[in-house]
Amino acid sequence: MSVVGSPGAARGPGAAGGSAPHEAHPAGNLAVAARGLTRVYEVRRGVLRKPGRLQAVGGISFAIEAGRTLAVVGESGCGKSTLARVVAMIEPPSAGELLLGGVDAVHAAPTERRKLRKTAQMVFQNPYGSLNPRKRIGAILEAPLEINTTLDAAARSERARAMLAKVGLRPEHYERYPHMFSGGQRQRIAIARALMLEPALVVADEPVSALDVSVQAQVLNLMADLQRDLGLAYLFISHDLAVVRYLAHEVLVMYLGLALEQGAKERIFARPLHPYTQALLASTPGLAGTPRLQRIVLKGELPSPLDPPQGCVFSTRCPHAIARCRDERPSPRLLDERLVACHLAENFLESGHTADRNPGLRSSQPSL
């Protein structure tokens, strides 16, 4: 992944020759490129009041190359699943560009859209809910082929059996029903189904959050193996930073629909520059190799997305906020090879300041 506009996706936003997100999409083997993706909902607030405007995703830009993973992190309600649905073409953006395999997915004609949908497949958190309990696994895996290809029954069955093996399931599982599997096995089936149409991009929304920790590791290893073997690009959504650190190449930190920090995983984990990223990292103890960050009190509630703060969206909870933060919204800018949307980010970089050196901050756990 790279921020859209960087010349080599593997190099990240601040690499030599790196460029800002408003520039043209780079050519190359990009599975997906998004620019200014926005999704707004009209929300009813009672009979007498006019509908509110809820911006769930507000101008997100990124690109993911084949074989790379962009992880999206942030608190509940920050817009992760909405972004996932828009990228997987389950719902349209209100504004912005989405290119799948270099093709404009927003303005595509219906036949083209149907083709594009096959290239971006989704894996959900709850595999049981997404698998038809009345169908055998073989039929579940073959359904996408039946709808989207001209393969005959024998060829479909052969493909389904080969996919079962690829995701670590046994031949006899072909005849079984979803309730006969463990949670981890069901998620393997959901992954297998997502791969039946040979997509370039898999959008995985909290795919291991519902699994036991030991099973999580197995499914994550499977995803890593499949990515390596098939050159898959992943848009990987997770609130678990340990999981993100394992699988991601690049990270996008979201808050109230906006990108607050975005860049190579190593950069962000080694030296988070946005106070919100610092708070998230500090709330995950035992992340080896990350700086010792004192836990930051995230004061107050997450603001309502129907009435976000005027200036910096994080200003109501940020321990470093100054007057300017409440008046002026910081635009993301390149700093230390990542994008960061904070007026004071340079100060943190220059002084090597992260939350661990601020004695005024108390310990707390932000609820992800």
Ligand X SMILES: Nc1ncnc2c1ncn2[C@@H]1O[C@H](COP(=O)(O)OP(=O)(O)OP(=O)(O)O)[C@@H](O)[C@H]1O
Q: Which residues pair with 36 in a beta bridge?
A: none
Please identify, using beta-carbon distances, which residue of 56 and 204 lies nearer to ligand X: 56
196 in contact with ligand SF4 (CB under 6 A): no
Give me the 53-72 binding string for ligand X, x by CB under 6 A, dash otherwise: -x-x----------------
Alpha helices by DSSP H, the chain:
80-87, 110-119, 127-130, 137-148, 153-166, 183-195, 213-230, 241-247, 265-270, 275-282, 323-327, 345-351
Q: Report in angstroms how near the CB of residue 81 gets to Mg ion at its nearest.
A: 3
DSSP helix/strand/coil, 234 = strand
Please identify, using beta-carbon distances, which residue of 79 and 263 lies nearer to ligand X: 79
Say what angle helices 153-166 and 183-195 make with each other, to 10 degrees.
130
- Binding partner at 343 among ligand SF4, ligand X, Mg ion, none, C-beta below 5 to 8 Å by kind: ligand SF4
| Binding interface with Mg ion (CB under 5 A) | 80-81
79 in contact with ligand X (CB under 6 A): yes
Q: Measuring CA to CA, which residue among 109, 101, 105 is closest to residue 199?
A: 101
For the segment 281-320, give every residue that binds ligand X (CB under 6 A). Answer: 305
How many CA atoms does the CB half-sphere of 350 hold within 13 Å? 4
Candidates 258, 312, 335, 355: give the one binding ligand SF4 (CB under 6 A).
312
Residue that the structure tokens 């991009």 belong to = 201
Please identify, using beta-carbon distances, which residue of 80 and 320 lies nearer to ligand X: 80
Q: Report in angstroms how near the CB of residue 114 gets to Mg ion at its nearest.
A: 26
Structure tokens at 220: 């994550």
Q: Measuring CA to CA, which residue among 145, 240, 223 is closest to residue 184?
A: 223
Q: What is the dihedral of CA 202, 205, 208, 209, to 10 degrees?
A: 170
85 in contact with ligand SF4 (CB under 6 A): no
Angle at 205 between CA 151 and CA 77, to 5 degrees: 145
Give me the 324-343 binding string for ligand SF4, x by CB under 6 A, dash otherwise: -x----x-----------xx
Q: Report in angstroms how near the CB of residue 299 gets to ligand SF4 at its nearest.
A: 11
43 in contact with ligand X (CB under 6 A): yes
- Binding partner at 305 among ligand X, ligand SF4, Mg ion, none, C-beta below 5 to 8 Å by kind: ligand X
Please identify, using beta-carbon distances, which residue of 96 and 275 lies nearer to ligand SF4: 275
367 in contact with ligand X (CB under 6 A): no
For the segment 233-252, give every residue that binds ligand X (CB under 6 A). Answer: 239
DSSP helix/strand/coil, 263 = strand
Is residue 125 within 8 Å of 210, Cβ to Cβ? yes
Residue ranges that bind ligand SF4, judged by CB under 6 A: 274-275, 312, 314-315, 318, 320-321, 325, 330, 342-344
Residue ranges that bind ligand X, judged by CB under 6 A: 41, 43, 54, 56, 76-82, 239, 305
